[in-house]
Amino acid sequence: MASLSIRCMNDGELTDLIFQVLISRMRRDGHCLLKTRPVKRLIKACTTEFQKEPTQLHLRGKFVIVGDLHGNIDDLISIFMNYGYPPETQYVLLGDYVDRGKNSIETLILLYALKLKFPQSIYLLRGNHESKSTKLFSGFKDECLVHLNKRCYSLFIKSFSYLPLAALLNHSIFCVHGGLSQSIIDITEIDRIEKPITDISLSIASDLLWSDPSPDVLKFSSSPRGNGCLFGSEIVDQFLGDNELSLIIRAHEFCPDGYKWSLENCLTVFSASDYMGTGNLGGVAVVSNSDNVKTFTFKKAENFKVIMPSWVFEESRGLKPFEPETAHATLEDIDFDATLLIL
C-alpha cells in the first residue's frame, strides 16, 4: 500500500509506471514509452519520501543487498524475479543505479515507483554516481536529454541529494556504497549529517561514497581514484569493535565473480552482470534475521523472460492512462523480444 504522505501520485499510478518499465523489456529498443510529466511527478514524490528518511537508516529484518547496477535494468528485474518483488522481500540497494548502462532512466523509474508504493520494503542508498559532477562524464545526463529533458535530469539530481548515505542492519551490519572515513569513529556521527548533500566532495560524504578497502593498507592511505581513501584491516577491526558491529557490506568496485571478501570482515557486492561487456557474474548478498550472510551470483540472462508479480498484472489490467500525454504501452504495442510471465 502506498505511503499516505504521497500527494501527487496514487497507488494505481505507481503500479502503472512499474508495469510500463517491466513491459518495456519486451520492446526491441528497450525503452519506456513515457512522457515527461508523469516522470517529473514521480521524482518529486520520491524526493519527498527521501527527505523523511535519516542520513543513516536503522533497519531490522531479512534483506537482499544489491550492489552497483549502472543502468542494467535487466539485472535488477532478474534479482526481483529470483528473490521476490517488494513487498514480499525487503531490499537495500547500495547506490550507483545510473551511468554506463543503457537503461539508467528505467532503473530509476522502477526503483522510485517501488519506493513510493512499498516504502518499508525497499531502501536506496546513495552511490558516488548519484551526483551531478560524476554524471557529466558517464552517460546519465545524455540519456535524460535524449529520452526525457533537462528538467527531469535536474529533478533526479535534486532527489539524489536526499538519499541516505548508509544503513545499519540489525544493529550489526554496516552498509555503505564506498567505505570508511578518517572523520568517523563513532557511527552515530553519520546520523548527524544533514541532508540535502549537494556537494559530495565534502570530506565525510566523499569518503563514504568513494573509499575502498585494500589488503595492502593497514590503516588509511590516499586513494588512486582522487576521492575518498583506502582503508585497511586494522581500521575495519577498530571500526567494527568500537561500534559493536560484525560486518561491512559495500559496493563501488567491479567484481568478476559478483562479490569478493575485500577484507576479512568487509564484503563487496557488484550486481551488474557482463559489465561493459566483460562477461562478469552479478552478485547479491542475503542477510538473515540472525545476521547470517550468504552470497549468490548470476549470469547475464539469455532469452530474457519478464516475470511480473501478480499485483502488477491485476492492478494494470484495464487501467487507463493516468496522464493524457503519456505514451502508454499495451501488449498490442510490443515488438516482442522476450517473454511475459505472471507470478
List, in order, residues 6 or more apart from 84 with CB less than 8 Å away: none
Q: How far is CA 55 from CA 125, 194, 208, 210, 318, in A?
A: 9, 7, 12, 17, 40
Three-state DSSP class for residue 80: helix
Nearest to 123 by CA among 206, 55, 75: 55
Active site residue 129: yes
Of the residues 31, 129, 252, 328, only one is catalytic, namely: 129
Do strands 91-93 and 166-169 pair parallel, antiparallel, or not at all (unpaired)? unpaired
* Beta sheet of 91-93, edge-to-edge order: 122-124, 91-93, 63-66, 282-287, 293-298
Q: How far is CA 241 from CA 9, 59, 77, 172, 187, in A?
A: 44, 20, 37, 11, 11
List, in order, residues 6 or more apart from 283 with CB less than 8 Å away: 67, 255, 257, 258, 259, 269, 270, 271, 295, 296, 297, 298
Do strands 63-66 and 282-287 pair parallel, antiparallel, or not at all (unpaired)? antiparallel
| Residue 319 CB burial class (10 angstroms; 0-12, 13-18, ≥19) | middle
Cα distance between residue 109 and residue 114, in whole Å:
8
Cβ density class 70-79: b for 16+ within 10 Å, e for less: bbbbbbbbbb
Angle at 25 between CA 20 and CA 31, to 5 degrees: 70
Residue positions annotated with a catalytic role: 129
